[in-house]
């Protein structure tokens, strides 16, 4: 209980810094993969600082409110997760947060951000099955949805849930807006939808969006860690190593693939989910 | 005061250029020149841009577009005209549809000469633009502060 509270406070306070730092590393590594020097590692923080100092122009005043709700719900998701409550509940709150992002984008009625928002919904359709199956997998293996009980098991669940892990890492590419699945908005310049879902977000609103992304990334990386963590202290090192490897893998995929069409994204992600998580699910049910 | 020099995002607009300058602008982003090391991102969105980089002159069709893009950018903002076409109208100056350089519609802060402007010159122009970008913010801040203190005195 006590560690739960400490972890929760640590998440709320430190997640933006960890998330921003990870993004900085991401941009540096991407640059090196393209044989460029790349921006400094602290670049994401410089960007947010500048955005906060610019004049606020918003097409709809409601947008700021919706974005703040998006951020609050996302912080709540992570806080609940690190506190150690129900993992299913965490993902439900995360989906609610994503819906607010959708609304923040469509209220502007700009065609680019509206199409981006619609694609965001399609992305949700693509990753939700894998996310829900991950919860089911944890339940079948641990007999509980409770994060703190899952984390204090004496064996890492990756051994029982490798298929679920593959499915989850696969949909992380969608969740983290990495190529080939960055259909709703892209970190890279010039996509066909200008900036997709963030087209009408400038200055402070974009900063809020950016910080929320960092919270979100730290949360999903926490879920990756949950596959590896167990009751022994040393497993924390293993979990962190796994998180870094997964993050590097995402950067590598991002830099080595081109964007696919949304229909392909839906097909591929569902097929991967069905095969890896589905097969794992059947095996798990037979063993039990 | 806040240092915003490290994150200038560029909006690149192609006026009536011959595309020579545009290719050089894109060359700035390639591994050889790598403008991203200065934090420069080539964004397509005026709402998120800080530096408005224009190549090519102004004609009667793109005049309105340029003005609109400029107005959609949040303050502080800087305009950089790249290539002689954007500076004065260049070789197209005497064409019936050309109005002249970019400064015929919006205020230009940095003129980068050359036909086509070299990547080194473009990056230098951007670097000068970044200085102006910071100055604008500082000026705005100082003005606001003065207004506030003036109000405090009268109240
Ligand atoms: S300055 Fe020269 S290269 Fe550049 S757009 Fe004009 S004609 Fe083309």
Return the residue whose CA atom lies nearest to atom 2 of ligand 1: B115
Is residue A252 reached through a cis peptide bond, with omega within 30 degrees of 0 on the bond before it?
no
Sequence ranges of the domains in chain B: 9-154
Check: CATH 3.40.50.12280 for B9-154? yes
Which tokens in the block code for residue A150? 């899952």
Instruction: Ligand 1 pocket test: pick from B85, B93, B113 the residue with the most ligand atoms within 8 Å of its Cβ.
Output: B85
**pLDDT score, position A189:** 64
Residues of B in contact with A20 (CB under 8 A): none
The reply to whether the predicted model has a pTM over 0.90 is yes
**pLDDT score, position A11:** 92
Residues of B in contact with A53 (CB under 8 A): 2, 4, 137
Select from B81, B130, B135, B84 the least CA-distant residue to B108. B81
The ipTM value here is 0.89
pLDDT tens digit sequence for A124-183: 999 999 999 999 999 988 888 888 888 888 888 888 889 999 999 999 999 988 888 888
Q: b/e string for A123-147 if b means 16 or more Cβ within 10 A? A: bbebbbbbbbbbbebbebbbeebbb
B70, pLDDT greater than 70: yes
Q: What is the largest CA-CA distance in chain A?
A: 60
A187, pLDDT greater than 80: no
Distance between CA atoms of A69 and A87, rounded to whole angstroms? Answer: 21
Confidence of residue B153 (pLDDT cuts 50, 70, 90): low
- The residue-averaged pLDDT of A227-236 equals 87
């Amino acid at each position: 209980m006590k560690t739960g509270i400490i972890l929760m406070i640590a998440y709320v306070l430190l997640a933006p810094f960890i998330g921003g730092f990870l993004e900085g590393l991401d941009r540096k590594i991407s640059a090196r993969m393209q044989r460029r020097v790349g921006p400094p590692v602290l670049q994401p923080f410089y960007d947010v600082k500048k955005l906060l100092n610019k004049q606020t122009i918003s097409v709809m005043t409601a947008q700021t409110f919706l974005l703040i709700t998006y951020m609050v719900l996302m912080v709540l998701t992570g806080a609940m997760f690190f506190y150690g409550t129900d993992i299913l509940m965490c993902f439900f709150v995360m989906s609610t947060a994503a819906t607010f992002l959708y609304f923040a984008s469509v209220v502007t009625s700009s065609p680019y951000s509206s199409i981006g928002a619609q694609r965001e919904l399609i992305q949700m359709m693509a990753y939700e099955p894998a996310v829900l199956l991950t919860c089911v997998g944890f339940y079948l293996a641990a007999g509980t949805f409770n994060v703190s009980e899952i984390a204090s098991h004496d064996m890492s669940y990756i051994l029982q849930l490798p298929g679920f892990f593959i499915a989850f890492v696969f949909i992380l590419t969608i969740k983290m807006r990495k190529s080939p699945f960055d259909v709703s908005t892209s970190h890279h310049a010039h996509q066909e939808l200008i900036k997709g879902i963030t087209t009408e977000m400038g200055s402070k609103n974009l900063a809020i969006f950016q910080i929320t992304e960092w919270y979100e990334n730290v949360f999903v990386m926490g879920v990756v860690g949950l596959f590896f963590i167990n009751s022994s202290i040393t497993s924390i090192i293993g979990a962190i190593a796994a998180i870094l490897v997964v993050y590097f893998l995402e950067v590598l995929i991002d830099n080595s693939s081109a964007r696919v069409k949304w229909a392909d994204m839906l097909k591929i992600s569902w097929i991967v989910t069905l095969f890896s998580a589905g097969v794992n699910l059947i095996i798990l049910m037979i063993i039990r | 005061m806040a240092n915003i020099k490290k994150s200038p995002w560029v909006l690149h607009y192609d006026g009536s250029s011959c595309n020579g300058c545009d290719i050089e602008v894109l060359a700035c982003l390639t591994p050889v020149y790598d403008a991203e090391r200065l934090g420069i991102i080539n964004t397509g969105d005026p709402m998120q841009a800080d530096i408005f980089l224009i190549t090519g002159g102004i004609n009667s069709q793109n005049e309105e577009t340029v003005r609109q893009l400029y107005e959609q950018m949040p303050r502080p903002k800087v305009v950089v005209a790249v290539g002689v076409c954007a500076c004065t109208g260049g070789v197209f100056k005497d064409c019936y549809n050309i109005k002249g350089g970019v400064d015929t519609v919006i205020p230009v802060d940095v003129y980068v000469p050359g036909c086509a402007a070299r990547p080194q010159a473009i990056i230098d122009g951007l670097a000068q633009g970044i200085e102006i970008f910071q100055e604008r913010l500082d000026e705005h801040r100082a003005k606001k502060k003065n207004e506030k203190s003036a109000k405090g005195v009268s109240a």
